[in-house]
Amino acid sequence: MRISLVGFGIVGHGVLEVVRRKRELLRSMGLDLRVVSVTDIKGTLFDGDGIDPSRLHGAKTLEGIANLGIIGKEAIQEIDSDLVVEVTPTNIVHGQPGLGHIEEALKLGKHVVTSNKGPLVVGFNHLRDLARENGLMLKYEATVGGTMPLISLIEKNLVGNEILSIRGIFNGTCNYILTRMMEEKYTYSYALTEAQELGIAEADPAYDVDGIDTAGKVVILANSIFGMGAKYEDVSVTGIEGDNPRGPQPRLGEGLPRKADRRGTGPDGEADARPPEEPPRRRRDPQRRLHRDRPLRDDHRHRPWRRLHRDRQRHCL
């Protein structure tokens, strides 16, 4: 199978490394994967026999490495491949450039795997229908709980169950910060600084701590699992920082703020604290749980894990 990799950031580097490490195992299973092209904003590196990952070792971009001047949709059109792996940066406002990349690949008869939440938040139903119309696979497991397969668990292993609700903590940065606050009694600002020094949190952590990331994942689950046709603006959101510029301060005997989770939590705070072009934030008090019948109903209980509420297989034969 010939793969075109579109996006050469942290995730793109990881894809190349995994294909390299797993090549022999995959071949033993009858699957010969070859990454024939890698594309970023600087151009495209192409090798029809498969790119040797060592050629890209230590490279942050394809500048000086690319052998073709095509990027984006043009690269998807021109490169002969069976599968497009789309891992460009996420934008949940308009979904671009990933949305256009995925549309183009599906129109050209190419399967798609993506870790990009933006296109699915903006146009999940459109992309799903486009894939079905063309008899193609659109896989997006990495967009939600990538380290603990969730979507495939529901679609395959729990196919005989009726999923009633989903709860959990789905942002690693928030999980790390609040765990350190709880276990080590750190202040919010100290835990955040430590997370940044370790590379867990970004220099500008707003996308995570304001809940934008988690809110996008809520939309993907609402649409893929419950068929709700939800949009980002439908999600009630609250970040973990609070109104105190130092953030929430844990005290013995007092509960910690709930982590931004898949119950519908997300961005909250002042307008100048969010990244450019992100959706306007709406302050709503209650934390929420994604539920089939009442997807944004109040739920004030907190559990630091992912949980599926199902019907205990009562409909299974």
Query: Does residue 218 lie in a domain region?
Result: yes
Query: Does residue 88 lie in a domain region?
Result: yes
pLDDT, one tens digit per residue, over 114-137 is 999 999 999 999 999 999 999 999
Query: Does residue 303 lie in a domain region?
Result: yes
Residues 138 and 170 both lie in one domain: no
Q: Quick check: 102 pLDDT over 50?
A: yes
pLDDT, one tens digit per residue, over 161-211 is 989 988 888 898 999 999 999 999 999 999 999 999 998 898 889 999 999
In this predicted structure, what is the pLDDT of residue 58? 86
Q: Quick check: 28 pLDDT over 80?
A: yes
144 neighbors 138 (Cβ within 8 angstroms): no
Residues 48 and 177 both lie in one domain: no
Residues 28 and 132 both lie in one domain: yes
Query: Does residue 155 lie in a domain region?
Result: no
Share of the chain above pLDDT 70, in %: 76
Q: What is the mean pLDDT of the chain?
A: 81
In this predicted structure, what is the pLDDT of residue 274? 35
Q: Quick check: 146 pLDDT over 50?
A: yes
Contacts of 276 (CB under 8 A, 6+ apart): none
Q: Quick check: 265 pLDDT over 80?
A: no
In this predicted structure, what is the pLDDT of residue 95? 95
Residues 127 and 172 both lie in one domain: no
Residues 169 and 306 both lie in one domain: yes
Share of the chain above pLDDT 90, in %: 57
Query: Does residue 235 lie in a domain region?
Result: yes
Active site residue 217: yes
**Which of 18-22, 82-86, 302-306 bottoms out in mean pLDDT, i.e. has the lowest?**
302-306
Query: Does residue 249 lie in a domain region?
Result: yes
Residues 173 and 291 both lie in one domain: yes
CATH code where residue 18 lies: 3.40.50.720
In this predicted structure, what is the pLDDT of residue 170? 85
CATH code where residue 259 lies: 3.30.360
Residue 297 sits at the vertex; the CA angle it makes with 183 and 149, to the nearest 5 degrees, is 60
pLDDT, one tens digit per residue, over 275-296 is 334 444 444 433 444 555 544 4
Beta partners for 165?
291, 309
Residues 72 and 122 both lie in one domain: yes
- The dihedral through the CA atoms of 126, 90, 179, 240 has a sign that is negative
Indicate the length of the chain as a whole number: 317
215-219, 260-264, 279-283 — most confident range: 215-219
Residue 268: both structure tokens together: 């909250």
Q: Mean pLDDT throughout 57-77? A: 94
Domain that holds residue 281: 164-310
Count of CB atoms situated within 10 Å of the CB of 275:
14
Q: Mean pLDDT throughout 228-256? A: 66
Query: Does residue 158 lie in a domain region?
Result: no
Residue matched to tokens 């380290």: 147
Residues 101 and 191 both lie in one domain: no
**Which of 11-15, 269-273, 291-295 bottoms out in mean pLDDT, i.e. has the lowest?**
269-273
HEC profile of the chain: CEEEEECCCHHHHHHHHHHHHHHHHHHHCCCCCEEEEEEECCEEEECCCCCCHHHHCCCCCCCCCCCECCCHHHHHHHCCCCEEEECCCCCCCCCCCHHHHHHHHHHCCCEEEECCHHHHHHHHHHHHHHHHHCCCCEECHHHCCCCCCCHHHHHHHCCCCCEEEEECECCHHHHHHHHHHHHHCCCHHHHHHHHHHCCCCCCCCHHHHCCHHHHHHHHHHHHHHHCCCCCHHHCCECCCCCCCCCCCCCCCCCCCCCCCECCCCCCCCCHHHCCCCCCCCCECCCCEEEECCCCCEECCCCCCCCEEEECCCCCCC
Query: Does residue 315 lie in a domain region?
Result: no
In this predicted structure, what is the pLDDT of residue 302? 37
**Count of domains forming the chain:** 2
Residues 112 and 181 both lie in one domain: no
Candidate list 110, 117, 217, 259, residue with the active-site label? 217
Residues 131 and 260 both lie in one domain: no
Residues 183 and 76 both lie in one domain: no
Residues 176 and 305 both lie in one domain: yes
